[in-house]
Amino acid sequence: MTTYWCERAWLGPADGVREGVAIGVTGDRIASVETPAAPSPGAVVLQGLVVPGFANCHSHVFHRALRGRTQSGSGSFWAWREQMYAVAERLDPDSFRRLARATYAEMATAGVTAVGEFHYLHHGPDGVAYADANEMGHAAVAAAREAGLRITLLDTCYLSAGFGSPVRGVQRRFSDGDADGWVTRVEQLTAAYAGASDVVVGAAIHSVRAVPAGQLRTVADWADRRESPLHVHLSEQPAENADCLAATGRTPTMLMAEHGVLGPHTSVVHATHLGPEDIAVLGDCGVYACLCPTTERDLADGVGPSRALVTAGAVLTLGTDSHAVIDMNEEMRAVEMDERLISLRRGTWHADELMTAATSNGQSSLGFLGTSGLVVGGRADLVCLRTDSARTAGTGGDAQTAVFAATAADITDVVVDDSPVVTGSRHMSLPEAARDLDAVVGEILAAS
């Protein structure tokens, strides 16, 4: 058994922050939680505030190559998408793995212990499958393992460029032809990771514009049979809603409800532009609502109705999406701050709720069941952040410190399934990840 002695630890909304917490770990699970306790001989001492591991529930890892490079001039999401496609066109399995490994290492240093990779870079740039049709997916899994993270590979079905439009250009590498072709490939991927405790193979529907209505059910049925996570971009842009209404007479939410996509294993990502009926349906279905505030503001998407969704019955989770920022403390904070800007009211969200969204809610939405925080039976994921930095000193060292004061720069130690991944703010196995990231991004952007 490993024992971690925490100067302070957040034990969940009911118990809050306690001082002098001894956490005993057997295997990858927490076996005991004692407080107040003195540090025992041989215990790993964590000075500061310890919280459960963060779950980054929505990642497009290759978007990290665009950070800081898309901010000149003006435009919309659609202009940004063309820049993203230019990067997608240049990646091969080796450069993708190197980019993903360094980006996942950045996530680890930000306290992320599990990532949901919304993965649609399946084939070669010309749309022809690699010898192993899942080579790009394997590269993502290998990168996460090298960085010390658990991964839910949300293998994405992407079949059309829009309602009634075939894929074109770089989109050809996203497509399996039809949903049955997607199932055939994903069955092979699932078999490759059968029994793995650190990998979940889930499903994703890119969007209503990328999967024809008649094929939505095929993807949903595959996920239902396995009780696997099913994630989908939903109503991120007003244009998506308008096009869906014109093509089907329904909003994206209603179209997905009609085809059996929505349920307690479903995560709707962004959910930014919803009507009251959409919100009611999503709540009734008990979906996870994954907001990515730093990306949504970077892409000028808008502010989603987070409180209304949760009041209706949805469960809040968080992601960093395009990785304009990788900082789960900032994602938590931004949910409340964005609400203040549109509601002119403070306190829509409380710190304990946002901590739960970033930790146990997120882990469950990725299929890592039984992960319920720093409690007996929970996964042995611990994240320690400083309470004496220029940002956190004098803030009380509680959940409000983690949400409303701290940043990723305050995280000193990260343990994933009882394995130390970050110590002294340094990634233990990938200490040169920043240098590696700089090199691989330069190579990708220089490629013709």
Give residue-wise pLDDT tens across range 187-239: 999 999 999 999 999 999 999 999 999 999 999 999 999 999 999 999 999 99
- pLDDT at position 81, please? 79
Secondary structure percentages of the chain, helix, strand, coil, to 5: 40, 25, 35
Question: Is residue 161 classed as helix, strand or coil in its secondary structure?
Answer: strand
CA 111/CA 81 separation, integer angstroms: 28
Kindly give, in sequence order, each residue whose CB lies less than 8 Å from that of residue 437, ignoring residues fewer than 6 positions away: 64, 99, 102, 103, 106
Q: Are 316 and 355 in contact (CB under 8 A)?
A: no
- pLDDT at position 447, please? 78
Please tell me what DSSP assigns to residue 111: T
The low-confidence residues of the chain, meaning pLDDT below 70, are 75-76, 78, 371, 448
CA nearest 153: which of 114, 109, 115, 201? 201
Amino acid at 336: E
Q: Are 144 and 151 in contact (CB under 8 A)?
A: yes
What is the DSSP secondary-structure string of 162-219? ETTEE--GGGGGG--SSHHHHHHHHHHHHHHTTT-SSEEEEEEE--TTTS-HHHHHHH
Catalytic residues: 270, 321
CA angle 279, 118, 187 (to 5 degrees): 110
Query: 269: which 2 tokens?
Result: 């990502």
Could you give all domains of the chain from N- to C-terminal order, each with its CATH number?
2-52+372-427 (2.30.40.10), 54-365 (3.20.20.140)
Element (H, E) at 140: helix 135-147
Question: Is residue 51 classed as helix, strand or coil in its secondary structure?
Answer: strand
- pLDDT at position 448, please? 55
CA 99/CA 420 separation, integer angstroms: 22
CA 259/CA 261 separation, integer angstroms: 6
> Is the full-model pTM beyond 0.95?
yes
Element (H, E) at 242: helix 238-248
Outline where DSSP puts E strands in 66-198: 112-119, 150-157, 160-162, 165-166
Amino acid at 352: D
249: left (phi > 0), else alpha (psi -120 to 50), else beta?
Answer: left
CA nearest 316: which of 338, 299, 344? 338
- pLDDT at position 151, please? 98
